[in-house]
């Protein structure tokens, strides 16, 4: 008889929040770079510009919205993916085929992206607020204040503007992260050269995030530029030139890589110490 630990449905949201706390400054700088109309600053220059003008704590502007997004978007996609995967694997049939992981990841990510759209919009607004003139700033106190004010001042439909783009991005990100992480970890463990440890988790998550970057970088830029539909986003981004789709390539990777790696390392540690015991 062997014992293993299974993840609880909410572990993905907690792990994502932990990773977001570590990488939020990178996310803020990435959004600032991608929303430049003209490329005037690189990553280090933008970070120094933010600190010089608004102080070090300005790098954490919008953190509450980022955490709110993780507890809606990431919690949903992880809960769907891991719950269904574990249910299908509990019959002793072995791991799911990769194509089923991809389909499940796409469904979970699409659903999570839709649910997380309001928090995503408030997150981008709070991160960009400092760039606006003082009389035009929204000055949301925190994420819940931002969500309430958008609902009160702009209506329910505004909360879900850009849901198509956010859902599409969520599907691609989840396929790249969750499905590819599972498959990479399965292949690494299958070699027999490495055990189920942090090194394996690091290697598997690194492979997954490279796939994720290839799948969804263009959509990430489009979401940051304009949250009002796929066609409009593509058109508006294209007006800035073909290279606009890859504007912020380096900061996108610098933020997404550590966020993905930390999320899975935190998730595996939560699973190891607090997961559900299963004896087989």
pLDDT of residue 267: 96
- Which residue has better confidence, 19 or 53? 19
* CA neighbor of 90 nearest in space, from 278, 269, 252: 278
pLDDT single digits (tens) 55-86: 888 788 878 888 999 999 999 999 999 999 98
Average pLDDT, integer, range 30-51: 71
110: Cβ contacts below 8 Å, ≥ 6 apart: 167, 168, 170, 171
pLDDT of residue 184: 96
pLDDT single digits (tens) 157-178: 888 988 888 898 899 999 999 9
Residue 228 belongs to domain with CATH number: 1.50.40.10
pLDDT of residue 46: 77
HEC secondary structure over the chain: CCEEEECCCCHHHHHHHHHHHHHHHHHHHHHHHHCCCCCCCCHHHHHHHHHHHHCHHHHHCCHHHHHHHHHHHHHHHHHHHHHHHHHHHCCCCCCCCHHHHHHHHHHHHHHHHHHCHHHHHHHHHHHHHHHCCHHHCCCCCCHHHHHHHHHHHHCHHHHCCCHHHHHHHHHHHHHHHHHHHHHHHHHHHHCCCCCCCHHHHHHHHHHHHHHHHHHHHHHHHHHHHCCCCHHHHHHHHHCCCHHHHHCCHHHHHHHHHHHHHHHHHHHHHHHHHHCEEEEC
pLDDT of residue 14: 96
pLDDT of residue 240: 59
pLDDT of residue 41: 67
pLDDT single digits (tens) 198-255: 999 999 999 999 888 878 766 655 555 554 455 565 565 566 565 555 554 555 677 7
pLDDT of residue 26: 84
pLDDT of residue 110: 96
Q: What span, in angstroms and rounded, lies between the C-alpha atoms of 42 and 29?
A: 9
> How many independent structural domains does the chain possess?
1
- Which residue has better confidence, 202 or 27? 202
Percent of the chain with pLDDT strictly greater than 70: 81
**Average pLDDT value for the chain:** 83
Q: What span, in angstroms and rounded, lies between the C-alpha atoms of 187 and 204?
A: 9
pLDDT of residue 227: 46
4: Cβ contacts below 8 Å, ≥ 6 apart: 277, 278, 280
Domain span at 228:
3-279
Average pLDDT, integer, range 183-200: 93
pLDDT of residue 108: 96
pLDDT of residue 15: 96
């Amino acid at each position: 008889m062997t014992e293993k630990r299974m993840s609880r449905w909410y572990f993905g949201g907690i792990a994502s929040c932990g990773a977001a706390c570590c990488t939020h400054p990178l996310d803020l700088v990435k959004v600032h770079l991608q929303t430049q109309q003209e490329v005037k600053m690189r990553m280090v220059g933008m970070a120094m510009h933010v600190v010089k003008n608004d102080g070090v704590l300005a790098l954490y502007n919008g953190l509450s919205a980022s955490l709110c997004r993780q507890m809606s978007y990431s919690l949903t996609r992880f809960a769907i993916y891991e719950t269904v995967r574990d249910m299908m694997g509990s019959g002793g049939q072995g791991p799911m085929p990769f194509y089923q992981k991809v389909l499940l990841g796409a469904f979970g990510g699409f659903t999570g992206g839709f649910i997380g759209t309001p928090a995503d919009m408030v997150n981008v607004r709070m991160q960009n607020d400092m760039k606006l003139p003082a009389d035009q700033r929204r000055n949301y106190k925190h994420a819940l204040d931002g969500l309430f004010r958008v609902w009160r001042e702009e209506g329910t439909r505004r909360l879900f503007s850009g849901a198509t783009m956010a859902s599409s991005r969520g599907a691609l990100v989840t396929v790249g992260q969750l499905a590819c992480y599972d498959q990479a970890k399965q292949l690494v463990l299958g070699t027999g050269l490495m055990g189920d440890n942090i090194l394996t988790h690091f290697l598997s998550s690194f492979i997954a995030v490279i796939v994720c970057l290839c799948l969804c970088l263009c959509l990430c830029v489009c979401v940051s530029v304009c949250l009002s539909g796929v066609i409009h986003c593509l058109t508006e981004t294209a007006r800035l030139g073909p290279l606009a789709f890859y504007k912020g390539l380096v900061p996108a990777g610098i933020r997404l890589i550590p966020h993905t790696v930390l999320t899975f390392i935190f998730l595996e540690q939560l699973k190891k110490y607090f997961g559900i015991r299963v004896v087989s």
